[in-house]
Structure 1
Amino acid sequence: MFDSPLAASPYEVLGVDPAVGDDDLRRAYRVRLRQTHPDTGGDAAVFIRVQHAWELIGTAEARARYDRGRDEDARRRWAGPASRAASSGTRPRSRVHGQAGAWRRRRYLQLAADWAGHELSEHQAYDPTFVRTAPWEVRRMLADALAEEATGEMVAELGIGFTVWHDVAVGTDAAHKLDHVVLSPSGLYAVMSEDVGDTVRFRQGEAIGQALGGSTPIADLLGRARAVARTAKVRFGGAILVLPDDDLDQVVVPLGERRGIPTVAVRRSALRGILRSGVPGARTIGGNELFDVRTRLQQTVRLV
């Protein structure tokens, strides 16, 4: 919950200064509980965040541990893509083309330098104090890079029956890329990984939320999937929007058939299961068609 560059700190969730005294911290926690409790008209997602914040800083020992380790932990998470780490196990991994999150990470470094007004070392660019004070659009770029890397790490562990392409080009604008294309025994899937730092809900098949502004991630995902499908002459069996677990009230949110493609939003922790079992209503691929689809994609996919 507090891992994202977009996330409020436990102190911010409780509405207090990090230097607040223990008694005032406890009072603030009780006030926030009353304000956010679902039985009194509060938001259940915010109520859970308040409880989690208290778990992290509610006792002197926990607070000292959080204050001591949070910046170093954040620097370590934000500076190095998890998808680059070598697997420590012996289980065969998926066939992977490209590097998840690579384009957005490069773009983040560009945006961070532009905002700072000078070139930055990686140490400076991923310093938690710098990241937390950067404009929202800069932090969002890093958050999305981390989201894509987390997805990349998960799909790499699916096994040899899966083939994955990351950062697939769609047209001439790299920003309009398709985050992941996953070919599995259960079907061919277009996948987008997002982190908006807030609870995401849905209306008429599209994601909505204050943090989303006017963006349309579902429409973007489907449009990019159709562009890749036209180029490669393949059919996607499903489309998946992947969100951090805390940003989605349900494990899986079925969005119905959108533009002819069964579409779901899923918590990140549920992604592997969905890709193994298949999106409900997705068209399965098997036998010679599986090899034909893989060949078509290998011949046509461009990475950004």
Structure 2
Amino acid sequence: MTDPFAGPLGASPYEVLGVAASATDDELRRAYRARMRETHPDTGGDAAVFIRVQRAWELIGTPEARAVFDRGRSFSSDDETDATASRSTQTRPDTRPRARAFGQPGGWRRERYLTLIREWVGRGAEIADPYAADLVRAAPRDIRHLLADALAEEATARIVADLGMGYTVWHDVAADKRGVDPDAKLDHIVLGPSGLYGLLSEDFGDPIGLRRGEIVGAHIAGAPITELIGRIRTVARQAGVRFTGAIVVVPDDQVAQAITELGKVRGLLVVVTTRSALATVLRRGVTGARPIGGTEVFDVRSRLQQRVEFV
């Protein structure tokens, strides 16, 4: 399960314990004991919150651990995933053919993040590392959300790349050439033997639910699935292709079920999947979808390659 403190939208251990980052060690210890009593399942507390309190204490409960946490990590990349990949390539180089890829995953949102974080800090102010954890966590949620989504898109891109040469993917595809909404985009388009899919890579920061074919949650504004379907239809008209379905990809700890097929929503098959289950969805396809192959794949790829534009 994803560490709840790992991403830009995660609460800090200080917030979970209910103290300021400047709290003394004694204040921190008292707050931890109080929060343990409040959240313990045996006294009516929430088990999930209880686990977070324990994890918070592990991160800042001793002077040594606290010093490490306060120095912070950088959100410049998905450090855990990159480290895992690095370890695996040290022992055995990965020579498998990769999916064909076009565009820059996460690029648009990283650019927006860098612009807004500098505006928030103040024009002219020097920022040594715009991805430093202490700076990111202090920023407003909408700015942190941009970075969280950029990291989510980059993680999805790595997964899709490993599907192999039978797949083609386009990242950060413009979904409104008329200028009505210049920021509208499809995070990814994936073409493979199981079909043609439009993907939304999201990190909502909190667990989500599903209601009447839409995603709901504490910090969700708008209608993510409806907006995704609208953008898919825009690209479909522009390129003259038919999409098989829509896929929403979220971190593993934000949904209770790894793969949830919603059936047809507004006429398009929709799946909500965890990041770790995405490859399974793209390889096996979606229930009710028609696999494609041969000359049809070539034709769809050619149409998209000729008409896709990037944000």
TM-score under structure 1 length normalisation: 0.85
Match of 2:165 among 160, 167, 171: 160
Residue 206 of structure 2 aligns to a residue in which SS?
coil
2:53 aligned with 1:50, yes or no?
yes
2:252 maps to a residue whose letter is: D
Shift of 1:135: 1.6
Shift of 1:289: 1.0
When residues 248 and 56 of structure 1 are mapped into structure 2, their CA distance, relative to the original with a 3 A threshold, is farther
Aligned to 1:255: 262
Aligned to 1:192: 200
2:283 aligned with 1:276, yes or no?
yes
Indicate if the aligned counterparts of 2:70 and 2:134 stay in contact, CA closer than 8 A: no
2:183 maps to a residue whose letter is: A
Aligned to 1:16: 19
2:118 aligned with 1:118, yes or no?
no
2:36 aligned with 1:5, yes or no?
no
Match of 1:207 among 211, 215, 219: 215
Mean CA deviation greater in 100-109 or 225-234: 225-234
Aligned to 1:97: 102
1:255 maps to a residue whose letter is: L
Shift of 1:40: 6.5
2:249 aligned with 1:246, yes or no?
no
Shift of 1:163: 0.4
Shift of 1:254: 2.5
When residues 300 and 193 of structure 1 are mapped into structure 2, their CA distance, relative to the original with a 3 A threshold, is same
Indicate if the aligned counterparts of 2:214 and 2:224 stay in contact, CA closer than 8 A: yes
TM-score under structure 2 length normalisation: 0.83
Residue 125 of structure 1 aligns to a residue in which SS?
coil
Distance 1:278 1:52 in 2: 37
Distance 2:303 2:129 in 1: 42
When residues 248 and 53 of structure 1 are mapped into structure 2, their CA distance, relative to the original with a 3 A threshold, is farther
Aligned to 1:129: 134
Indicate if the aligned counterparts of 1:3 and 1:74 stay in contact, CA closer than 8 A: no
When residues 67 and 112 of structure 1 are mapped into structure 2, their CA distance, relative to the original with a 3 A threshold, is closer
Stretches of structure 1 that go unaligned for 5 or more consecutive residues are none
Aligned to 1:219: 226
Higher helix share: 1
2:307 aligned with 1:300, yes or no?
yes
Aligned to 1:74: 74
Among the aligned pairs, what percent are the same residue? 57
When residues 116 and 59 of structure 1 are mapped into structure 2, their CA distance, relative to the original with a 3 A threshold, is closer
Q: How many residues align?
A: 297
Deviations 1:180-225 (A, max 9, x none): 000111111110011121111111111111211x321111111111
Distance 2:63 2:135 in 1: 27
Deviations 1:259-289 (A, max 9, x none): 2222121111221222112233333212221
Distance 2:216 2:44 in 1: 20
When residues 107 and 76 of structure 1 are mapped into structure 2, their CA distance, relative to the original with a 3 A threshold, is closer
Shift of 1:20: 5.0
Distance 1:277 1:227 in 2: 26
1:155 maps to a residue whose letter is: V
